[in-house]
Structure formats: C-alpha cells, structure tokens
Amino acid sequence: MPTRAADWRHPDRWLIAGLTIVVVQLLAAPWAERFVDTISAGMAGLAMLCAARTIRLAPPVGVPDRWRWQAGGVAWLLWSGQWIANAVQDTLLGDHQVLAKGLSELRLAVLVIALVPLAARGDDHRLRWLDALFALAFALLMTALSWPDLFDPEPHGPDKAFLYLGYVAMAVFAGLSVLGQPARPLRRMSWALFVTLGTYALVGISTRELIERGWLGMDAPVFAYGDLPFLAYLWLIGRPAPARDDPLEPSHRMVLLARLVPLALTTLIVALSFIVTYTMPRAALPAGIMALTILVAYAARTALTEALHHQRRQAAFVREQARAAGLADLMHELRSPLGAIALNGSVLRRASAALPAAERAAIAIESGCMTISRLLDDVLALERLEAGLTPSSRARHDLAALLQQVVSMFGAEAEEYGVVLVARLAPATAVLDAAALQRIVTNLVGNALRFTPAGGQVEVTLARDELHHVVTVADTGVGLPAEVRAQPFRRFSTVSRPLNGRRGSGLGLAITHALAESMSAAITLDPPGGTGSTFRLRIPSR
C-alpha cells in the first residue's frame, strides 16, 4: 500500500481533473445568466469524467462481469447527457423536461443492471435468471413511480415524495450490491456507486428542502456542493475494494450475507409495490402481481440455493471420503516396508551386541520406526474420523467403570513418574461409544502425566449437571503456552519436550476433539489458572 508521501508525489490525476471542473464552474458563475446552468454544465463534465474512468478501469475481455463495468460507464454517459439536456432545455425544448427525465429513467435502469447484487457469472443459470427477475422488477417499479411525472410539462421537477423515495431506494439497492458481491474488482465499483448514490441522495434531499423552505434561491452558489458525489466516485473507483473473505472459502459472515441480501432485496421490491398500489390505484393489480411474483421468486431462489448447497456439500463429503480412503491405503502400504526396517534393525541389534556403535545404531533404527509407526497410526485415525469412516458402536455403559479402567491402566506409569493419579467418579450411565470415550480420556491422561513434574497430581473426575455428564481431567503440570492454548485442538499443536516419557505426534488433542464430535459431545479447555491445564468433556445425558 502506498505511503502518504508517495500519494503526494503521485496525485490522482482524475481527481485533480474533477476539482478543476468544479473550480471552472465556480469561476464561470458570475458571467452565466443563471448559476443553475453552470451547475448543470459542471455536473455534465464530471459525469463524463466518471464515465471515462469507469471504462478505463473495466477488466479485460474474458474477465467475469466485465459487462457490469461497461454498464456503469454507460450509466455515467447517460447521467452526463441528462445534465446537458437540463442545461439546454430552455433553448431547445421550450422549458419541457421530457428529454432530461427520459435520460434519468434510462440511467437508473442501466445502473440497476450494473448493480444486480446477487448471482454472477459462474453461478447456476437458474439463479441468474431469478436474479434478473429481481432487477427487472425493481427497475419497473421505479419507472412506474416516476411515470406520472415523466410527461409533466411543468419544469418544477418530480413530486418530492417520489424524489426522496427514488434517492433512498437506489442508495439501498447499491448498498445491497456491495454486500452481495464477493469479487473485489466488482465490489470496488459497487462500493463507489453506493457512496456516490448515498451522497447524491443527501445532497438532493437537502437541496430540495432548502429551496422549498425559502432559505436559498435556485441560483445560490452553495449548491456547487452537488459536485461532491461525483468527486467521491472519482476518488473511490481508483481505490482498492473493502476487504472481503475469499469467495472460494466462504466464512460464516459471507454465508449469512448470501441469505440476507436476497431477503432485503425482496423486502425492498415488495415495499415499492405497496407504494405503487397506494399512489396509483389503477396500477394496484399489476403491482400486486409483481409483489406476489417476487415473493414466489424469493422462495424458489431460497429452495434452489439450499439444494445447490446440499449438492456441493455431498460432493465435498464424497471427495473427502475418497481422499481419506486413499490416505489409509497409503498408510498401510508404508507399514510393510517400515515393519521390515524395524525387524532388520532388531536382528542387527542382536547380532552386534559386541559392537557398541552398531548396537546404538540398531536401537536408533528401532526407535525411529516406532515413532513413525505411532505417527502413521495417529494420522490414519484422525483422517478416518474426520471423513466419517470410523464405525460407531453405541450402547448403554457404566461411565464410572469405563473411566476407572483408564485410570488403572496408567497407575504404574504415574508411579514411575512420581505423579499422584486420583479418580473421583460419581455413578452414572449413558448411551455412547465406549471405545471413543476411553481413547479420549487415555489421550488426556497420557498428556497430563507427561507434562506434570514429580510430586504433582492428575485428577480425573466424573460429575453431572442438568444436561450433561462432565468428565474433567486436571493436572498441576507446566500448562500450555499461549499459542497452543489459543487453538489447542489444531493438528500438530505440540509443546517443546515433555517432562516424562516420549514426545507425542502432536495429533492427540486433534483426535480427541474429532472423537468428541463423533459422539455428540463437546470438549473444552478451561482458561489458564495458577498451574496446569483442565480439560472438560461434556457428554449429553440424553
């Protein structure tokens, strides 16, 4: 990102050109018959400049949604033509505004096409057709609301209520476009148009109110602040788009927006339909049909989106299963040569008992093979768990008895390390996978013993709250560093070296988390206290 100094050394030439037009507009005002004509001429020049920059920044041929940029450039050209017609209407059209109003309506229609906030190229064609229907309905309703004014010979402009409604509706539509577009180049144009239309709405409404209240006349030079929306566009269109997550890996926020944007657009269109029905009784039936059509389209779009999401999820699940199965086959293939290496290392160790160097080398071979074998076992177990390939055997079990078996299995190891291992188990039964529960507790107790110094304590407890059986494994060991505690169940989140025993593979807690999910349980790590770590496994009691 360029620094502030670099910005001053390389100013935005387009923005400078826009500011130059504003200055010329103000300097020409004293010699103009009406200041409103210089405003119209200045805005026409600014709109032409915005059109040129939009067309220049349009992506190259072949890039998705290039046509949106082209539509944006056309809309700016129409906006420029509207202001030119507004400046010359007295001379050429006898004070009629039909040309300026017609260009305004056409500009709004083209902007709607450029800002359709939903499906884009690459989406399912049915979604794109439904979203085209949304854009068409919005454009038709905006035109219907302005139709009585379109051929009005009076030069006073549209009714105030419609004027304000049109400003706000277009600004909201542009805002939905910003939220609905995941691609950054397109979001840059949507963002610039949203700010421009929002600022234009504020300027237009405030100008109308100031004139109607008699606080300012039509020729007040202060109305040059109407140039601000155009200058804002020139500045924003050259800036990077606001950050957004990668659309290939949508976050929860993007998934939520994908649901809310169509709902908000449907609400906007239905509200406009009600306004048309209220203000134009003769158009009540078509407006009602339009509202009903959009509601049906929204329901169809929602159902289609869910169906497509389900298809993608199923396809991803099948791919993951195939990948896990392939990895499992690879692990089995690796085990055969690894077993042969370990066997030959054992033979070498027995044959070279009289040669200390050869014996040490053989012992190192055996130890390395055992470490690799444990790592392969853990990777294979985790892959099978995450792919849903591990069968689950659920039955009603005595939880206290299952946990006591694990504690008893570690008794000799705890005595060897000088660690006190205690169990406080309340009687309880639950329907679950006994093997999964015992492996979870085995991993937690094994980790606790390896990182608890001599004289410390590891405590396994079983209690119950209103909805869960709670298994707690707490130790008085060295605890976990902050980077591991932030994501304790991430793969290969290991502490440096254990105080006792061998260093683990770094997959134990990841396997524990996957096992807990497979049995519909939740495992958490308590916030750090004085010393040690406390893990809690909550098993649904029903």
- Domain locations in the chain as residue ranges: 11-316, 394-540
Structural contact between residues 405 and 438, judged by C-beta atoms closer than 8 angstroms: yes
Q: Which residues of 189-218 are buried (b: 16+ CB within 10 A; e: fewer)?
A: bbbbbbbbbbbbbebbeebbeeeeeeeeee
Going by C-alpha positions, the residue among 449, 458, 455, 437 that lies closest to residue 500 is 449
Residue 83 clears pLDDT 70, i.e. is over it: yes
What is the rounded distance in angstroms from the CA atom of residue 508 to the CA atom of residue 343?
27
In eight-state DSSP terms, residue 241 is P
- Amino acid 48: pLDDT: 93
Expressed in percent and rounded to 5, the helix, strand and coil fractions of the chain are: 65, 10, 25
Share of the chain above pLDDT 70, in %: 67
The whole-number average pLDDT for the span 423-448 is 88
- Amino acid 462: pLDDT: 92
- Amino acid 157: pLDDT: 45
Q: Which residues pair with 538 in a beta bridge?
A: 470, 522
- Amino acid 368: pLDDT: 66
Residue 224 clears pLDDT 50, i.e. is over it: yes
Which of 511 and 404 is assigned the larger pLDDT? 404
Confidence of residue 459 (pLDDT cuts 50, 70, 90): very high
What is the rounded distance in angstroms from the CA atom of residue 272 to the CA atom of residue 118?
19
The whole-number average pLDDT for the span 469-486 is 84
Strand boundaries in 237-382, DSSP class E: none
- Give the right CATH number for 394-540 from 3.40.718.10, 3.40.50.10310, 3.30.565.10, 3.40.50.450: 3.30.565.10
Which of 67 and 473 is assigned the larger pLDDT? 473
- Amino acid 159: pLDDT: 58
Residue 247 clears pLDDT 70, i.e. is over it: no
- Least confident range from 21-35, 227-241, 343-357, 387-401: namely 343-357
What confidence tens digit (pLDDT) does each residue in 191-212 have?
Answer: 888 888 888 888 878 877 777 7
In eight-state DSSP terms, residue 222 is G
The whole-number average pLDDT for the span 341-348 is 68
Residue 8 clears pLDDT 50, i.e. is over it: no
Structural contact between residues 80 and 104, judged by C-beta atoms closer than 8 angstroms: no
The whole-number average pLDDT for the span 498-507 is 68
Share of the chain above pLDDT 90, in %: 8
- Least confident range from 261-265, 472-476, 480-484, 499-503: namely 499-503
Mean pLDDT (the chain) is 76
- Amino acid 4: pLDDT: 39
What confidence tens digit (pLDDT) does each residue in 18-33 have?
Answer: 888 888 877 776 676 6
Statement: the pTM of the whole predicted model exceeds 0.75: no
